[in-house]
Amino acid sequence: MIVFPNAKINLGLQVSGKRADGYHNLRTVFYPIQLADMLEAVRADDFSFQSSGLPIDGNTDNNLCIRAWKKMQEVYNLPPVSLYLHKIIPMGAGLGGGSSDGAFTLRLINQLFNLNCPDAQLNAFALELGSDCPFFLLNQPAKAAGRGEELLPIELPQLKGKTILLANPGIHISTAWAFAQLDLSKPVPEFPAIENLPLEQWKETLLNDFEPVVFQQHPEIAAIREKFYAMGAIYAAMTGTGSTVFGIFDTAPADWKQGFPSQYTLLESK
Protein backbone atom coordinates (compact mmCIF):
# COMPACT_ATOMS: atom_id res chain seq x y z
CA MET A 1 0.00 0.00 0.00
CA ILE A 2 1.43 3.36 -1.07
CA VAL A 3 0.59 6.92 0.00
CA PHE A 4 2.08 10.30 -0.87
CA PRO A 5 2.78 12.52 2.16
CA ASN A 6 2.56 16.11 0.94
CA ALA A 7 4.22 19.30 2.10
CA LYS A 8 2.67 22.49 3.51
CA ILE A 9 3.47 26.17 3.60
CA ASN A 10 2.69 28.67 6.34
CA LEU A 11 0.63 31.64 5.27
CA GLY A 12 1.71 34.02 8.01
CA LEU A 13 3.15 32.92 11.34
CA GLN A 14 2.83 34.65 14.70
CA VAL A 15 4.28 33.60 18.05
CA SER A 16 2.35 34.98 21.00
CA GLY A 17 4.32 33.54 23.91
CA LYS A 18 5.87 30.52 25.56
CA ARG A 19 3.65 27.99 27.30
CA ALA A 20 4.10 26.25 30.64
CA ASP A 21 4.73 22.96 28.79
CA GLY A 22 7.73 24.47 26.96
CA TYR A 23 5.98 24.88 23.61
CA HIS A 24 4.99 28.21 22.09
CA ASN A 25 1.55 29.51 21.23
CA LEU A 26 1.32 30.02 17.48
CA ARG A 27 -1.11 31.49 15.00
CA THR A 28 -0.78 30.61 11.35
CA VAL A 29 -2.59 29.26 8.33
CA PHE A 30 -1.41 25.88 7.07
CA TYR A 31 -1.82 25.35 3.35
CA PRO A 32 -1.13 21.94 1.73
CA ILE A 33 0.80 21.92 -1.53
CA GLN A 34 1.34 19.38 -4.29
CA LEU A 35 4.88 18.40 -3.37
CA ALA A 36 5.08 14.95 -1.85
CA ASP A 37 7.25 12.09 -0.62
CA MET A 38 6.31 8.47 -1.35
CA LEU A 39 5.64 6.04 1.50
CA GLU A 40 4.94 2.31 1.20
CA ALA A 41 4.03 -0.23 3.87
CA VAL A 42 3.66 -3.98 3.40
CA ARG A 43 3.27 -6.81 5.88
CA ALA A 44 6.54 -8.61 6.58
CA ASP A 45 8.18 -11.26 8.74
CA ASP A 46 10.38 -8.66 10.45
CA PHE A 47 10.14 -4.90 10.79
CA SER A 48 12.36 -2.86 8.47
CA PHE A 49 12.68 0.73 7.32
CA GLN A 50 14.44 1.81 4.14
CA SER A 51 14.69 5.17 2.43
CA SER A 52 15.88 6.67 -0.83
CA GLY A 53 15.94 10.11 -2.39
CA LEU A 54 17.16 12.94 -0.17
CA PRO A 55 19.34 11.68 2.70
CA ILE A 56 17.59 11.71 6.08
CA ASP A 57 19.57 13.32 8.89
CA GLY A 58 19.66 12.18 12.49
CA ASN A 59 19.18 8.95 14.39
CA THR A 60 16.92 6.47 12.58
CA ASP A 61 15.07 5.73 15.82
CA ASN A 62 13.86 9.35 15.86
CA ASN A 63 12.39 9.08 12.36
CA LEU A 64 8.72 9.99 12.57
CA CYS A 65 7.67 7.09 10.34
CA ILE A 66 9.25 4.63 12.76
CA ARG A 67 7.86 6.42 15.82
CA ALA A 68 4.38 6.46 14.27
CA TRP A 69 4.59 2.73 13.51
CA LYS A 70 5.70 1.95 17.07
CA LYS A 71 2.76 3.84 18.55
CA MET A 72 0.28 1.93 16.41
CA GLN A 73 2.04 -1.39 16.97
CA GLU A 74 2.10 -1.02 20.75
CA VAL A 75 -1.59 -0.14 21.03
CA TYR A 76 -2.91 -2.70 18.53
CA ASN A 77 -0.25 -5.44 18.92
CA LEU A 78 0.37 -5.55 15.19
CA PRO A 79 2.59 -7.95 13.25
CA PRO A 80 5.70 -6.52 11.55
CA VAL A 81 5.72 -4.33 8.46
CA SER A 82 8.31 -3.16 5.99
CA LEU A 83 8.33 0.62 5.48
CA TYR A 84 9.90 2.28 2.46
CA LEU A 85 10.18 6.07 2.17
CA HIS A 86 11.30 7.95 -0.92
CA LYS A 87 12.21 11.44 0.26
CA ILE A 88 11.53 14.40 -2.05
CA ILE A 89 10.51 17.19 0.38
CA PRO A 90 13.64 18.99 1.67
CA MET A 91 14.21 18.57 5.41
CA GLY A 92 14.55 21.37 7.94
CA ALA A 93 13.04 23.68 5.34
CA GLY A 94 9.74 24.78 6.89
CA LEU A 95 7.71 22.49 4.62
CA GLY A 96 6.61 19.96 7.25
CA GLY A 97 7.92 16.93 5.37
CA GLY A 98 8.83 14.91 8.44
CA SER A 99 5.54 15.71 10.16
CA SER A 100 3.66 14.69 7.03
CA ASP A 101 5.55 11.40 6.81
CA GLY A 102 4.65 10.63 10.43
CA ALA A 103 0.98 11.50 10.04
CA PHE A 104 0.66 9.55 6.79
CA THR A 105 2.29 6.53 8.46
CA LEU A 106 -0.48 6.57 11.08
CA ARG A 107 -3.13 6.66 8.36
CA LEU A 108 -1.35 4.03 6.27
CA ILE A 109 -1.05 1.53 9.13
CA ASN A 110 -4.68 2.18 10.06
CA GLN A 111 -5.72 1.29 6.51
CA LEU A 112 -3.30 -1.61 6.03
CA PHE A 113 -4.65 -3.47 9.06
CA ASN A 114 -8.27 -2.21 8.86
CA LEU A 115 -8.00 -0.94 12.43
CA ASN A 116 -10.80 1.64 12.21
CA CYS A 117 -8.84 3.75 14.66
CA PRO A 118 -11.05 6.70 15.71
CA ASP A 119 -10.04 10.11 14.36
CA ALA A 120 -9.60 11.41 17.91
CA GLN A 121 -7.09 8.66 18.66
CA LEU A 122 -5.18 9.25 15.42
CA ASN A 123 -5.01 12.94 16.29
CA ALA A 124 -3.71 12.12 19.76
CA PHE A 125 -1.00 9.91 18.26
CA ALA A 126 -0.14 12.65 15.75
CA LEU A 127 0.22 15.32 18.43
CA GLU A 128 2.61 13.06 20.34
CA LEU A 129 4.77 12.91 17.21
CA GLY A 130 4.89 16.68 16.66
CA SER A 131 2.91 19.90 16.69
CA ASP A 132 2.43 20.00 12.89
CA CYS A 133 1.38 16.37 12.56
CA PRO A 134 -2.37 16.74 13.27
CA PHE A 135 -2.65 19.16 10.35
CA PHE A 136 -1.60 16.46 7.90
CA LEU A 137 -4.46 14.23 9.04
CA LEU A 138 -6.84 17.08 8.15
CA ASN A 139 -4.75 18.12 5.12
CA GLN A 140 -6.81 21.09 3.97
CA PRO A 141 -6.31 24.85 4.42
CA ALA A 142 -6.74 25.65 8.10
CA LYS A 143 -6.14 28.31 10.68
CA ALA A 144 -3.98 26.93 13.47
CA ALA A 145 -3.55 28.04 17.06
CA GLY A 146 -2.09 26.63 20.28
CA ARG A 147 0.93 24.48 19.42
CA GLY A 148 -0.51 24.24 15.93
CA GLU A 149 -2.97 21.48 16.78
CA GLU A 150 -6.05 23.72 17.18
CA LEU A 151 -7.28 23.64 13.60
CA LEU A 152 -10.14 25.46 11.92
CA PRO A 153 -10.64 24.60 8.22
CA ILE A 154 -11.09 27.62 5.94
CA GLU A 155 -11.63 28.29 2.25
CA LEU A 156 -9.04 30.25 0.27
CA PRO A 157 -10.57 30.76 -3.16
CA GLN A 158 -7.94 33.43 -3.88
CA LEU A 159 -5.41 30.65 -4.46
CA LYS A 160 -7.47 28.64 -6.94
CA GLY A 161 -5.45 28.21 -10.14
CA LYS A 162 -2.39 29.99 -8.74
CA THR A 163 1.13 28.64 -9.10
CA ILE A 164 3.43 28.39 -6.08
CA LEU A 165 7.18 28.53 -6.68
CA LEU A 166 9.56 27.46 -3.92
CA ALA A 167 13.27 28.06 -3.48
CA ASN A 168 15.35 26.42 -0.77
CA PRO A 169 18.99 27.56 -0.46
CA GLY A 170 20.09 24.49 1.49
CA ILE A 171 20.59 26.45 4.72
CA HIS A 172 19.54 24.62 7.88
CA ILE A 173 17.71 26.89 10.32
CA SER A 174 17.62 25.57 13.87
CA THR A 175 14.06 25.86 15.13
CA ALA A 176 15.31 26.26 18.70
CA TRP A 177 17.65 29.07 17.61
CA ALA A 178 14.90 30.83 15.67
CA PHE A 179 12.49 30.81 18.61
CA ALA A 180 15.24 32.04 20.95
CA GLN A 181 15.73 35.14 18.79
CA LEU A 182 12.13 36.36 19.15
CA ASP A 183 11.17 39.20 21.50
CA LEU A 184 8.09 37.71 23.11
CA SER A 185 7.46 40.78 25.27
CA LYS A 186 5.99 42.71 22.34
CA PRO A 187 2.21 42.74 21.89
CA VAL A 188 0.98 40.54 19.06
CA PRO A 189 -1.56 42.06 16.66
CA GLU A 190 -4.71 40.26 15.60
CA PHE A 191 -3.98 37.58 13.02
CA PRO A 192 -5.49 38.74 9.72
CA ALA A 193 -8.60 37.02 8.39
CA ILE A 194 -6.94 36.21 5.09
CA GLU A 195 -9.90 34.21 3.87
CA ASN A 196 -11.64 37.59 3.48
CA LEU A 197 -8.68 39.51 2.07
CA PRO A 198 -7.79 39.86 -1.62
CA LEU A 199 -4.49 38.16 -2.36
CA GLU A 200 -3.03 41.53 -3.39
CA GLN A 201 -3.38 42.76 0.21
CA TRP A 202 -1.50 39.90 1.82
CA LYS A 203 1.91 41.50 1.25
CA GLU A 204 1.18 44.27 3.75
CA THR A 205 -0.86 42.31 6.28
CA LEU A 206 0.32 38.69 6.38
CA LEU A 207 3.67 38.46 8.17
CA ASN A 208 5.99 35.75 9.46
CA ASP A 209 7.55 36.69 12.83
CA PHE A 210 10.68 34.69 11.99
CA GLU A 211 11.55 36.59 8.82
CA PRO A 212 13.34 39.56 10.49
CA VAL A 213 15.67 37.37 12.57
CA VAL A 214 16.34 34.80 9.84
CA PHE A 215 16.81 37.45 7.14
CA GLN A 216 19.30 39.33 9.31
CA GLN A 217 21.34 36.19 9.88
CA HIS A 218 20.98 34.92 6.30
CA PRO A 219 20.43 37.80 3.86
CA GLU A 220 20.51 35.36 0.94
CA ILE A 221 17.13 34.04 2.16
CA ALA A 222 15.71 37.57 2.15
CA ALA A 223 17.06 37.95 -1.38
CA ILE A 224 14.92 35.02 -2.55
CA ARG A 225 11.75 36.77 -1.42
CA GLU A 226 12.77 39.97 -3.19
CA LYS A 227 13.63 38.00 -6.32
CA PHE A 228 10.17 36.45 -6.36
CA TYR A 229 8.57 39.89 -6.04
CA ALA A 230 10.77 41.19 -8.85
CA MET A 231 9.53 38.26 -10.96
CA GLY A 232 5.93 39.33 -10.39
CA ALA A 233 4.83 37.37 -7.31
CA ILE A 234 1.53 38.53 -5.84
CA TYR A 235 2.71 37.38 -2.41
CA ALA A 236 6.02 35.92 -1.25
CA ALA A 237 7.21 34.84 2.19
CA MET A 238 9.34 32.43 4.15
CA THR A 239 7.50 29.34 5.38
CA GLY A 240 7.84 28.26 9.01
CA THR A 241 11.23 29.06 10.48
CA GLY A 242 12.76 28.68 7.02
CA SER A 243 14.77 28.37 4.99
CA THR A 244 12.32 27.79 2.12
CA VAL A 245 10.75 30.87 0.52
CA PHE A 246 7.66 30.64 -1.66
CA GLY A 247 6.09 32.98 -4.17
CA ILE A 248 2.48 32.92 -5.36
CA PHE A 249 2.00 33.72 -9.05
CA ASP A 250 -0.81 33.78 -11.55
CA THR A 251 1.46 31.67 -13.76
CA ALA A 252 5.10 30.64 -13.43
CA PRO A 253 7.42 33.05 -15.26
CA ALA A 254 9.28 31.51 -18.20
CA ASP A 255 12.71 30.17 -17.25
CA TRP A 256 12.12 31.24 -13.66
CA LYS A 257 14.85 28.93 -12.35
CA GLN A 258 17.57 30.82 -14.17
CA GLY A 259 19.55 33.15 -11.99
CA PHE A 260 19.36 31.05 -8.82
CA PRO A 261 22.58 29.45 -7.54
CA SER A 262 23.01 25.86 -8.68
CA GLN A 263 22.87 24.44 -5.14
CA TYR A 264 19.36 25.77 -4.53
CA THR A 265 16.41 23.38 -4.62
CA LEU A 266 13.76 24.90 -6.88
CA LEU A 267 10.24 23.49 -6.98
CA GLU A 268 6.87 24.30 -8.51
CA SER A 269 3.53 23.39 -6.98
CA LYS A 270 -0.10 24.39 -6.66
Catalytic residue numbers? 8, 132
User: What distance in Å separates the CA atoms of residue 126 and residue 131, rounded to the nearest whole number?
Assistant: 8
DSSP string of 76-129, one letter each residue: HTPPPEEEEEEE-SPTTSSS-HHHHHHHHHHHHHHHHTT----HHHHHHHHHHH
Q: How far is CA 249 from the centre of its chain?
A: 20
Distance CA 43, CA 47 (A): 9
Integer Cα distance of 28 and 13 in angstroms: 5
* Per-residue CA distances from 19 to 16, 147, 187 (Å): 9, 9, 16
- Give Rg (Cα) of the chain: 19
**Exposed/middle/buried for residue 139 (C-beta within 10 Å: 0-12, 13-18, 19+):** middle
Alpha carbon distances (Å) from 79 to 47, 72, 109, 131, 199? 9, 11, 11, 28, 49
DSSP string, 24-72: EEEEEEEEEEEEE-EEEEEE-SS-EEEEEESPPPS-GGG-HHHHHHHHH
Q: Give the DSSP letter of residue 132.
A: T
